[in-house]
């Protein structure tokens, strides 16, 4: 392999964003963070790398295949974080004596997963999310779901929906049928992949009474009436408790007026051993991938702290939401117009002062010496292209120590301000 | 809700798959497949459904990325790609087996008799790698895109992994199947988001396919 080929490339699956897109992604990110903070979620920062052992303790072996691993000077195996929930759980569990529960935490971070290159997926991507730690109540379940919907709504996204399931339902039925760990693993694999053909073939050979029940679960998807149907399928207590939990969540979500955004899907379990209760995923018809995912994980912190601490959270994929907004043509950028101050060498002092005044008012201001521009262009008549940097709406040209020419391209207006004596107020005159 | 886009497998399975979809009322009966098989995309004006014609091995790719909502392709292809797609129904057509086959003159009858570091020609490198790894047999995989039977004839490979439905091609080339890796039929696959946004439609189709 020719190593030279790598010099000009980003590593496979890693992406750079140029200013125009980067600015829009940042705006989108800030908007979502704002939603989180309005609900009282405070930021938390954790290291980009973690010890492999620490992550495995939290996440199980399932994700190991997709991890970026490397070895430090002491021989420890480090990994680039593939998600934020386990690192946050570890951080909180090891700092419990400094913290008061419940905790409302939010994050915005890049995460790394070694996806197969042909899948066309990024190996570094941006996730925003929250974790509500220390509350077991269904009000907390509902809060996470409502906040996920609200923060997606705030971005301007339309036509999206959350599928809500509960791992307790399937777990209860598996326990009721007395299936062993191997069978449980096989069945959950089919559920995770939504491989109904595989599931039905497997069940056909399973010599367990009541096995047909498992084949019906993937079909339990729809509005709240599905819960009634599910409830009639089994008397198992764990499964019934799961249904009761979902009813309560529905009632909170309906009180908030967001019931149209949710669908129940009892076949949804999201992975193997991480989640313990309600689970959910958000999607829109405009994008072939999930927008967000999350759920309740009551045993994760315990793996680090030895004390049971319930928690729930979710993560949103920043780039996916951006892509969906673009496809829906609903991206709301607030492109701030720029000001450009151009000065001749001897009027630098005035230019800096003027720039200071504008920036004081939160106005984006670029300063540049005249040498970089053609004076004729700056003095060009209305409508002629002065070849200015993109996004410049107003030019302040310091012609000499007495004269400031202000050209407003948006209003197609120009005026001359005499800058002898006090002139600072005059720049705001309309 | 807009129309449903279906990725159909071009080639030998296309005719029988289209017949099944016609039976299910998904494609109108008077559509001429001969004519269609030359097109890349077409819309069935009567049912309002759109179709794209792709190589069977590409069908999961279109579906995974949502370029098509649903698709039909073989289980062998799904296993090889390992795509994150939902597999909802077995159309029970296009039956074939993925087998390990050895030239007759080698006299190998069982997997255990395969010498270490044997060269295996296949167009299913992922399934093949996983299969031999599980069996604890170390082999070298030679990835070919077709006519895999040719490889042992010209000593490019010691054995092959390939699909066979009747065994005729294998016999013609004096290859003896010694193990079946998996059996395959055509499956209905669905994009994970389309499954949710078009749930009623897809469920309805599944019900009609089962009849």
Domain residue ranges in chain B: 5-94+185-210, 96-182
**B64 and A196 in contact by Cβ < 8 A?**
no
Q: What average pLDDT does this structure show over A420-430?
A: 78
Sign of CA dihedral A267, A270, A275, A281: negative
Cβ-based contacts of B1 with chain A (< 8 Å): 285
Query: Both A117 and A24 in a single domain?
Result: yes
Query: Both A305 and A360 in a single domain?
Result: no
Provide the CATH number for the domain around residue A393. 3.40.50.800
> Which pLDDT belongs to residue A380?
63
Number of structural domains found in chain A: 2
**B1 and A285 in contact by Cβ < 8 A?**
yes
Chosen for mutation from A194, A204, A263, A324 (greatest number of chain B CBs closer than 10 Å) is: A194
Q: Of the candidates A120, A193, A194, which has its C-beta nearest B65's C-beta?
A: A120
Query: Both A169 and A67 in a single domain?
Result: yes
A331 Cα distance to chain centroid? 16
- Do the Cβ atoms of B160 and B152 come closer than 8 Å? yes
The Cα B127–Cα B110 span in angstroms is 19
Angle at A22 between CA A19 and CA A23, to 5 degrees: 80
Query: Both A216 and A137 in a single domain?
Result: yes
Query: Both A121 and A238 in a single domain?
Result: yes
Classify residue A76: in a domain, yes or no.
Answer: yes
Q: What average pLDDT does this structure show over B93-103?
A: 95
On the question of pLDDT at A335 being above 70, the answer is no
On the question of pLDDT at B30 being above 70, the answer is yes
- Do the Cβ atoms of A242 and A172 come closer than 8 Å? yes
Angle at B131 between CA B112 and CA B185, to 5 degrees: 120
User: Do the domains B5-94+185-210 and B96-182 sit in the same CATH topology, yes or no?
Assistant: yes
**B65 and A287 in contact by Cβ < 8 A?**
no
Q: Which of A260-264, B31-35, B40-44, B112-116 has the lowest mean pLDDT?
A: B31-35
Q: In what order do the strands lie in the sheet with A364-369?
A: A364-369, A338-343, A392-398, A403-408, A413-418
Residue B187 contacts A, CB cutoff 8 Å: yes
Band of pLDDT at residue B1, cut at 50, 70 and 90: very low
**A287 and B66 in contact by Cβ < 8 A?**
yes
A77 Cα distance to chain centroid? 28
The Cα A274–Cα A131 span in angstroms is 14
Mean pLDDT of chain A: 89
Digit-coded pLDDT (tens) for A65-115: 789 999 999 999 999 999 999 999 999 999 999 999 999 999 999 999 987
User: Domain span at residue A190?
Assistant: 14-327
**B83 and A263 in contact by Cβ < 8 A?**
no
Digit-coded pLDDT (tens) for A182-222: 999 999 999 998 999 999 999 999 988 888 999 999 989 99
Classify residue A412: in a domain, yes or no.
Answer: yes
Query: Both A270 and A417 in a single domain?
Result: no
Classify residue A1: in a domain, yes or no.
Answer: no
Classify residue A64: in a domain, yes or no.
Answer: yes
Query: Nearest C-alpha of chain B: how many angstroms from A183?
Result: 20
| Domain B96-182 class, CATH top level | alpha beta
Residue A284 contacts B, CB cutoff 8 Å: yes
β B50-54/B41-43 pair status:
antiparallel
Q: What average pLDDT does this structure show over B88-110?
A: 93
Query: Both A282 and A345 in a single domain?
Result: no
In terms of C-beta density within 10 A (0-12 exposed, 13-18 middle, 19 or more buried), how is residue B121 classed? buried
Query: Both A68 and A115 in a single domain?
Result: yes
Q: Which two tokens stand for residue B142?
A: 């030679």
Closest CA to A278 of A176, A181, A163: A163
Classify residue A208: in a domain, yes or no.
Answer: yes
**B192 and A288 in contact by Cβ < 8 A?**
yes
**A265 and B65 in contact by Cβ < 8 A?**
no
Residue A389 contacts B, CB cutoff 8 Å: no
Residue A115 contacts B, CB cutoff 8 Å: no
Cβ-based contacts of A265 with chain B (< 8 Å): 196
Q: What average pLDDT does this structure show over B63-74?
A: 93
Return the CATH number of B5-94+185-210, one of 3.40.50.300, 1.10.287.3510, 3.90.79.10, 3.40.190.10: 3.40.190.10
Classify residue A403: in a domain, yes or no.
Answer: yes
A200 CB-near residues (< 8 Å, 6+ apart): A215
Q: What average pLDDT does this structure show over A263-276?
A: 90
On the question of pLDDT at A329 being above 70, the answer is yes
**A196 and B199 in contact by Cβ < 8 A?**
no
On the question of pLDDT at B84 being above 80, the answer is yes
| Helix/strand/coil (H/E/C) assignment for every residue in B145-174 | CCCCCHHHHCCCCCEEEEEECCCHHHHHCC
Residues 62-101 (B) with a CB less than 8 A from some CB of A: 64-67, 75, 82-84, 86-90
**A290 and B193 in contact by Cβ < 8 A?**
yes
Query: Both A280 and A375 in a single domain?
Result: no
Q: What average pLDDT does this structure show over B144-159?
A: 94
Q: Of the candidates A119, A163, A197, which has its C-beta nearest B87's C-beta?
A: A197
**A289 and B203 in contact by Cβ < 8 A?**
no
Neighbours of A22 (CB within 10 A): 11
Cβ-based contacts of B187 with chain A (< 8 Å): 197
Which of A274, A300, A327 is the last residue before a domain boundary?
A: A327
> Residue written as tokens 């630098």?
A348
**DSSP conformational letter for B26:** S
| Helix/strand/coil (H/E/C) assignment for every residue in chain A | CCHHHHCCCCCCCCCCCCHHHHHHHHHHHHHHHHHHHHCCCEECCCCCEEEHHHHHHHHCCCCHHHCCEEECCCCCEEEECCCCHHHHHHHHHCCHHHCCCCEEEEEEEEEECCCCHHHCCCCEEEEEEEEEECCCCHHHHHHHHHHHHHHHHHCCCCCEEEEEEEHHHHHHHHHHCCCCHHHHHHHHHHHHHCEHHHHHHHHHHCCCCCCHHHHHHHHCEECCHHHHHHHHHCCCHHHHHHHHHHHHHHHHHHHCCCHHHEEEECCCCCCCCCCCCEEEEEEECCCCCCCEEEEECCCHHHHHHCCCCCEEEEEEEHHHHHHHHHHCCCCCCCCCCEEEEEECHHHHHHHHHHHHHHHHCCCEEEEEEHHHCCHHHHCCCCCCCCCCCCCEEEEEEECCCCEEEEEECCCCEEEEEECCCCCHHHHHCC
Digit-coded pLDDT (tens) for A124-170: 999 999 999 999 999 999 999 999 999 999 999 999 999 999 999 99
The Cα A352–Cα A363 span in angstroms is 14
On the question of pLDDT at A64 being above 80, the answer is no
> Which pLDDT belongs to residue A334?
67
The Cα A196–Cα A219 span in angstroms is 10
Cβ-based contacts of A285 with chain B (< 8 Å): 1-2, 193-194, 197-198
Which residues sit opposite B73 in a β-bridge? Answer: B187
Digit-coded pLDDT (tens) for A350-402: 899 999 999 998 889 999 888 777 776 666 655 555 567 777 888 898 888 88
Which of A261, A292, A327 is the last residue before a domain boundary?
A: A327
The Cα A58–Cα A93 span in angstroms is 11
> Which pLDDT belongs to residue A376?
67
Residue A108 contacts B, CB cutoff 8 Å: no
> Which pLDDT belongs to residue A273?
73
> Which pLDDT belongs to residue A387?
67
Digit-coded pLDDT (tens) for A107-136: 999 999 987 655 457 899 999 999 999 999
Query: Both A20 and A92 in a single domain?
Result: yes
Classify residue A400: in a domain, yes or no.
Answer: yes
- ipTM exceeding 0.90? no
Query: Both A235 and A204 in a single domain?
Result: yes
- Do the Cβ atoms of A49 and A80 come closer than 8 Å? yes
**DSSP conformational letter for B198:** T
Q: Which two tokens stand for residue B206?
A: 């599944």
Query: Both A377 and A280 in a single domain?
Result: no
The Cα B75–Cα B183 span in angstroms is 8
**DSSP conformational letter for B84:** S
Classify residue A9: in a domain, yes or no.
Answer: no
């Amino acid at each position: 392999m020719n190593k030279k080929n790598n010099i000009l490339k980003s590593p496979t699956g890693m992406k750079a964003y140029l200013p125009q897109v980067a600015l829009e992604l940042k705006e989108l990110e800030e908007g979502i963070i704002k939603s989180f903070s309005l609900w009282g979620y405070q930021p938390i920062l954790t290291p980009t790398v973690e010890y492999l052992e620490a992550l495995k303790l939290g996440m199980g072996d399932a994700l190991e295949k997709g991890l970026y691993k490397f070895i430090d000077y002491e021989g420890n195996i480090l990994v680039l974080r593939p998600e934020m929930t386990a690192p946050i759980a570890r951080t909180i569990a090891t700092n419990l004596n400094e913290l008061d529960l419940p905790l409302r935490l939010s994050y915005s971070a890049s995460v790394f997963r070694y996806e197969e290159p042909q899948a066309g997926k990024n190996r570094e991507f941006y996730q925003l999310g929250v974790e509500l730690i220390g509350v077991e109540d269904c009000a907390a379940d509902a809060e996470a779901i409502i906040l996920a919907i609200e923060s997606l709504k705030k971005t301007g996204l339309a036509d999206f929906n959350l599928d809500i399931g509960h791992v307790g339902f399937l777990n209860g039925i598996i326990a009721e049928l007395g299936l062993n760990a191997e069978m449980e693993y096989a069945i959950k694999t089919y559920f995770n992949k939504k491989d109904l053909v595989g599931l039905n073939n497997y069940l056909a050979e399973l010599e367990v009474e009541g096995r047909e029940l498992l084949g019906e679960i993937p079909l339990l998807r729809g509005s709240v009436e599905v819960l009634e149907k599910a409830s009639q399928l089994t008397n198992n207590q764990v499964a019934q408790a799961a249904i009761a939990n979902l009813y309560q969540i529905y009632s909170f979500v309906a009180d908030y007026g967001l019931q149209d955004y949710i669908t129940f899907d009892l076949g949804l379990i999201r992975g193997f051993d991480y989640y313990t209760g309600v689970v959910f995923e958000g999607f829109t018809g405009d994008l072939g991938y999930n927008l967000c995912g999350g759920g309740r994980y009551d045993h994760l912190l315990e793996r680090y702290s030895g004390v049971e601490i319930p928690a729930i959270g979710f993560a949103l994929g920043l780039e996916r939401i951006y892509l969906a907004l673009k496809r829906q043509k609903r991206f709301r950028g607030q492109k701030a117009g720029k000001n450009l101050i151009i000065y001749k060498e001897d009027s630098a002092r005035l230019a800096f002062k003027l720039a200071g005044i504008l920036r004081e008012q939160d106005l984006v201001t670029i300063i540049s010496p005249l040498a970089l521009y053609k004076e004729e262009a700056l003095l060009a008549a209305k409508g002629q292209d002065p070849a200015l940097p993109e996004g410049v709406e107003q030019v302040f040209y310091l012609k000499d120590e007495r004269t400031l020419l202000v050209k407003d391209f948006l209003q197609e207006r120009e005026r001359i301000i005499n800058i002898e004596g006090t002139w600072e107020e005059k720049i705001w005159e309309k | 809700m807009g129309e449903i886009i279906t990725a159909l497998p071009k080639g030998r399975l296309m005719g029988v798959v289209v017949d099944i979809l016609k039976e299910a009322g998904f494609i109108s009966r008077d559509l001429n497949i001969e004519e269609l098989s030359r097109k890349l995309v077409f819309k069935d004006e009567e049912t309002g459904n759109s179709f794209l014609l792709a190589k069977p091995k590409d069908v999961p790719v279109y579906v995974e990325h949502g370029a098509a909502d649903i698709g039909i392709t073989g289980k062998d292809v799904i296993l090889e790609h390992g795509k994150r797609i939902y597999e909802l129904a077995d159309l029970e057509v296009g039956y074939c087996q993925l087998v390990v086959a050895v030239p007759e003159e080698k006299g190998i009858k069982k997997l255990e008799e395969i010498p270490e570091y044997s060269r295996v020609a296949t167009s299913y490198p992922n399934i093949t790698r996983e299969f031999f790894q599980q069996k604890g047999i170390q082999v070298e995989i030679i990835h070919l895109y077709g006519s895999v039977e040719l490889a042992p004839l010209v000593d490019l490979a010691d054995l092959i992994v390939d699909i066979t439905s009747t065994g005729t091609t294998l016999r013609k080339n004096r290859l003896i199947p010694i193990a079946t890796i998996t059996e395959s039929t055509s499956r209905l696959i669905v994009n994970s988001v389309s499954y949710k946004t078009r749930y009623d439609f897809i469920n309805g189709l599944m019900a009609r396919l089962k009849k």
